[in-house]
Amino acid sequence: MPQVAKLAINGNRLQSQIDELALISENGPPVVTRILFSEADLRGRAFVKKLAEEAGLHLRQDAIGNIFVRWAGQNPDLPAVATGSHIDAIPNAGKFDGVVGVLGALEAIRALQGAGIHPKRSIELIIFTAEEPTRFGLGCIGSRLLAGTMSPEKAALLKDRDGTTLESWRTQVGWADGDLGSVRLPQHRYSAFVELHIEQGPLLDKEKIPIGIVEKIAAPSTLRLELTGVGGHAGAVLMPERHDALLAGAEIALAVEQAALTSGSADTVATTGIFRIEPGAVNSVPCQAHLEIDLRDTQALTRDSALAQIERSVREICRRRGVTSDLERVATDPPVICDPKLVSLIDQTCSTLGVPAKRMISRAYHDSSFMAQVCPTAMIFIPCRNGYSHRPDEYSSPEQIKTGVTVLAHTLASLSSAD
């Protein structure tokens, strides 16, 4: 690691920017909700762009709305060093998920600038579009397109709950000039990608360790299920005649839980996070149910066998209840191994700085999962209180964030000075 003058990370400035961004939300504080293409999402993007411009950085946006904030290096033709995360937030979220890796990276760049460093390689902060799956039921849309793991044709046809396609949204928000096919990164655009993020789990907080270095990201998957039963009058349709879509869905939700509990792996987790019914009237038998199921494991093998178990349960339950099903595997992503050299570099950086660190697995998915297909990738975690995340009381202290930014800044300094 090259000697870098003591970096002046301005923790107060960073905290006040995190607080300001949190107020750009579809719900009042402490809740943060910023769903892709919402007014809050667009205002959040404008806020971050303004901060980047104020730092004298160059901005570019691609056709899916990924934002690239570039600090040009002395040799701009060398592959750049990338960092970044997301600012979209699921409904009823907190203010740190993703944001720490965006505003924290901006602070890291400002600190390196302030230290008079002139990086050899350019440093690029990426603000990824739709890491969260809320609008289209699929997460990491921006990074999937960057990595080329999803085709532009498939992306364009993604539909939200109202049936509006991604392509139509792009037109509405004025991004449709560019072709989605142009989003894919050329070979060797980046020499490395490092994402700073809150842990979203309890280990660092419990063990009082300030930094986690991610070696592996668990394998996520998502299922979407439409159930069609037979509706009718809640007073008139006798019980033996019923084909209630909600009850089929309820049994399936329990089968999802069982599939995780009996997978043989303590790392299998399964969640039915969306369950809507039609027509939604107290005196009407539910004729339609829509479920979205999230299933993960650190190993693809156990995740896949739990997935197959859920699919068998859906068939059996629907047959028995006379309900028809339309089940779609929305995504089945592999686990990701972070780059061992990059992991060692971060470890070494922590040792040099005297910051205790622990190697760990990320159970949450991240844009890093897809950036790992493009260039050597690793993640820096900071603790969050009780491991709470995806809820308004998500919390990391200013000191914890500052430590993460310090480690990130030194890591970027090392990577950007390499030949």
Residues engaged in binding ligand GLV (CB under 6 A): 132, 139, 364-365
Task: Give the separation between CA 323 and CA 318, rounded to whole angstroms.
Answer: 5
Q: Which of 242/303 has CB closer to ligand GLV?
A: 303
Residues in binding contact with Mn ion, number by CB under 5 A: 2
The answer to whether the beta carbons of residues 191 and 375 sit under 8 Å apart is yes
Q: Smallest Cα–Cα separation from 85: which of 42, 14, 140?
A: 140
The answer to whether the beta carbons of residues 111 and 8 sit under 8 Å apart is yes
What is the nearest approach in angstroms of ligand GLV to the Cβ of residue 291?
17
Helix (H) or strand (E) holding 50: helix 39-54
What is the nearest approach in angstroms of ligand GLV to the Cβ of residue 203?
16
Q: Which stretch binds Mn ion (CB under 5 A): 62-70, 94-102, 148-156, 313-321?
A: 94-102
What is the nearest approach in angstroms of ligand GLV to the Cβ of residue 367?
10
- Binding partner selected for residue 107 from ligand GLV, Mn ion, none, CB under the kind-specific 5 to 8 Å limit: none
Question: Is residue 98 part of the contact set for Mn ion (CB under 5 A)?
Answer: yes
C-alpha separations of 160 from 27, 135, 175 in Å:
20, 5, 17
Q: Which of 364/405 has CB closer to ligand GLV?
A: 364
Q: Which of 98/286 has CB closer to Mn ion?
A: 98
Q: Which of 94/229 has CB closer to Mn ion?
A: 94
* Contacts by residues 350-357 (CB-CB < 8 Å, ≥ 24 positions apart): 350/211, 350/213, 350/407, 352/1, 352/410, 353/406, 353/407, 353/410, 355/210, 355/211, 355/403, 355/406, 355/407, 356/209, 356/210, 356/211, 357/209, 357/210, 357/211, 357/212, 357/213, 357/407
What is the rounded end-to-end Cα distance, in angstroms, of the chain? 13
- Binding partner selected for residue 205 from ligand GLV, Mn ion, none, CB under the kind-specific 5 to 8 Å limit: none
Q: Which of 97/244 has CB closer to Mn ion?
A: 97
Question: Is residue 62 part of the contact set for Mn ion (CB under 5 A)?
Answer: no
What is the nearest approach in angstroms of ligand GLV to the Cβ of residue 274?
13
What is the nearest approach in angstroms of ligand GLV to the Cβ of residue 217?
9
Q: Which of 27/113 has CB closer to Mn ion?
A: 27
Q: Which of 97, 199, 244, 367 binds Mn ion (CB under 5 A)?
A: 97
Helix (H) or strand (E) holding 271: strand 269-278
- Binding partner selected for residue 365 from ligand GLV, Mn ion, none, CB under the kind-specific 5 to 8 Å limit: ligand GLV
Longest Cα separation, the chain: 79
DSSP helix/strand/coil, 208: coil
* Residue nearest ligand GLV (C-beta atom): 364
What is the nearest approach in angstroms of ligand GLV to the Cβ of residue 132?
6
Task: Give the separation between CA 86 and CA 128, rounded to whole angstroms.
Answer: 5
Helix (H) or strand (E) holding 149: none
Look-up: residue for tokens 């930014």?
A: 405
Q: Which of 286/404 has CB closer to ligand GLV?
A: 404
The answer to whether the beta carbons of residues 336 and 369 sit under 8 Å apart is yes
Q: Which stretch binds Mn ion (CB under 5 A): 92-100, 214-222, 241-249, 340-348?
A: 92-100
What is the nearest approach in angstroms of Mn ion to the Cβ of residue 406?
20
Q: Phi, psi (5° rounding) for residue 288?
A: -140, 140
Two tokens at 350?
Answer: 């922590």
What is the nearest approach in angstroms of ligand GLV to the Cβ of residue 30?
18
Q: Which of 108/364 has CB closer to ligand GLV?
A: 364
Q: Which stretch binds Mn ion (CB under 5 A): 57-65, 66-74, 89-97, 290-298?
A: 89-97
Query: Where along the sequence are the contacts to Mn ion (CB under 5 A)?
Result: 97-98
